[in-house]
Amino acid sequence: MPAALTLTIHTLGMDAHRAMADQVRLGLTRSPKELPCRYFYDDRGSALFEQITELPEYYLTRAETEILEARSDELATITRPQVIVELGAGACTKTRLLIGSAHRAGSLRCFVPFDIGEGVLRSSVSEISSEFRDLDVHGIVGDFASHLDAIPRLGRQLVMFLGSTIGNFEVAERRRFLASVRALLSEDDFFLLGVDLVKDERELVAAYADEQGVTAEFNRNLLNVLNRELDADFDVGSFEHVALWNAAASRMEMHLRANGGQRVRVPGAGLLAPLEVSFEDRETVRTEISVKFTRGIVERSFADAGLDLRAWFTDSGQRFALALATAIPLRHHALDLAERDQLDVPNREDLEVPAGDHVREPAAGDAELARGFPKSQGLHVDVNTSSLH
């Protein structure tokens, strides 16, 4: 059976450029300075990230892969997905394990990778479809913040968000993101989330400051992106990579530190005149956060978004976890929240969580929910350049 290969591109055209300019202006004029991490992922940034995943210090990918190698068949049996949706899919390297299991189990028909990086998504779509020839592959280039509702519903879903990318969100952003994921789910769908766990500070810092300097290169590449996209004149070599553990916020942070005072012009981020920014000697700009989780924090974030943690899988070193959730029916979720507000219940993360995995029996009813795109044949590239907002 020939597979359908569709790449839907959601771009905001000039608005995307405007959004970047606005975010960069806001970030560089605030104190302390910060830049949005989403702009790391141009083609070079995506390639550097793939190199990072293979570094000896970067345990995250190996630990998550270990869990997937051990649990993919079990996950495929529990979730029986007809469709795997992967958010922030990148190169889809680990995803292949789950795709393989669900494919062998006979349930899987379609894979929907979603990512802001068009180059990386195009190659993932083409690689996955040549590896799994009878699978429909429907790639979507879009932004978590604006385009999750563009994801078609093509059958019973397993929505995945791997690589601890959720750690890059501030608390409010994480809440909004999880609520949008909840909105994607029907009652027989599942959500699988990869999270990095709190651990020894030295191990954490080493993972973000490797000896070969690939993470430093990845971090500095953000300035290359701003030079290219916003016509900025950052002297990239004058900024040093810094990785530090912020215990109070339970997160790793990446910064770029100015070596000597710097004056930078960013014409593309100016309003009436080009934006001019000064850096004191050793002043930093924060470029990424990576929150480290406990099971309690994940369970509470899920509950707030109307998601129920059903299973928790960790690697042998307890460094990384995969959390499997289902949607709490909307009526129950509203009652839960009202009851918690009335009783002033303590944070779930302060309560003891029962040990062991608890997984619900597979839901009865295999009804196919027909919303979204018809199954197409052959190669189809659907480019949607209209503004969505």
Ligand X SMILES: C[S@@+](CC[C@H](N)C(=O)[O-])C[C@H]1O[C@@H](n2cnc3c(N)ncnc32)[C@H](O)[C@@H]1O
Q: How far apart are CA 122 and CA 19, in angstroms?
A: 23
Residues near 116 by beta carbon (within 8 Å), at least 6 away in sequence:
38, 41, 88, 141, 142, 143, 144
By three-state DSSP, how is residue 360 classified?
A: coil
**113 or 268: whose CB is closer to ligand X?**
113
Least distance between ligand X and beta carbon 68 (Å): 10
Helices (H), 187-244: 201-207, 214-229
Q: How far apart are CA 122 and CA 2, in angstroms?
A: 19
Least distance between ligand X and beta carbon 110 (Å): 18
Question: Tokens 């044949």 correspond to what residue?
Answer: 377
Nearest of 284, 290, 288 to residue 30 by alpha carbon: 284
**113 or 155: whose CB is closer to ligand X?**
113
What x/- string results for residues 165 through 204 when contact with ligand X is judged by CB under 6 A? x---------------------------------------
Among 163, 230, 241, 333, binds ligand X (CB under 6 A): 163
Nearest of 152, 115, 59, 134 to residue 373 by alpha carbon: 152
Q: What are the respective helix, strand and coil percentages of the chain, to the nearest 5? A: 40, 25, 35
**38 or 156: whose CB is closer to ligand X?**
38
Candidates 88-96, 179-187, 228-236, 320-328; binding stretch for ligand X (CB under 6 A):
88-96
Torsion sign (Cα): 14, 16, 22, 24: negative
**162 or 328: whose CB is closer to ligand X?**
162
What x/- string results for residues 24 through 63 when contact with ligand X is judged by CB under 6 A? --------------x--x-------x---x----------
CA dist 235 to 62, 155, 331, 342, 344, Å?
Answer: 35, 50, 55, 55, 52
The two three-digit tokens of residue 17, written as one number: 């450029």
By three-state DSSP, how is residue 140 classified?
A: strand
Least distance between ligand X and beta carbon 36 (Å): 8
CA dist 353 to 91, 141, 196, 297, 309, Å?
Answer: 34, 38, 18, 11, 11
Residue nearest to ligand X (CB): 163
By three-state DSSP, how is residue 311 classified?
A: strand
**163 or 268: whose CB is closer to ligand X?**
163
Least distance between ligand X and beta carbon 16 (Å): 11
What x/- string results for residues 112 through 151 when contact with ligand X is judged by CB under 6 A? ---xxx--x----------------------xxx------
**115 or 308: whose CB is closer to ligand X?**
115
Among 20, 63, 89, 328, binds ligand X (CB under 6 A): 89
Find the binding residues for ligand X in span 327-356 (CB under 6 A): none
**46 or 284: whose CB is closer to ligand X?**
46
109 binding ligand X? (CB under 6 A)? no
**33 or 94: whose CB is closer to ligand X?**
94
Q: Which residues bind ligand X (CB under 6 A)?
A: 38, 41, 49, 53, 88-90, 94, 115-117, 120, 143-145, 162-163, 165
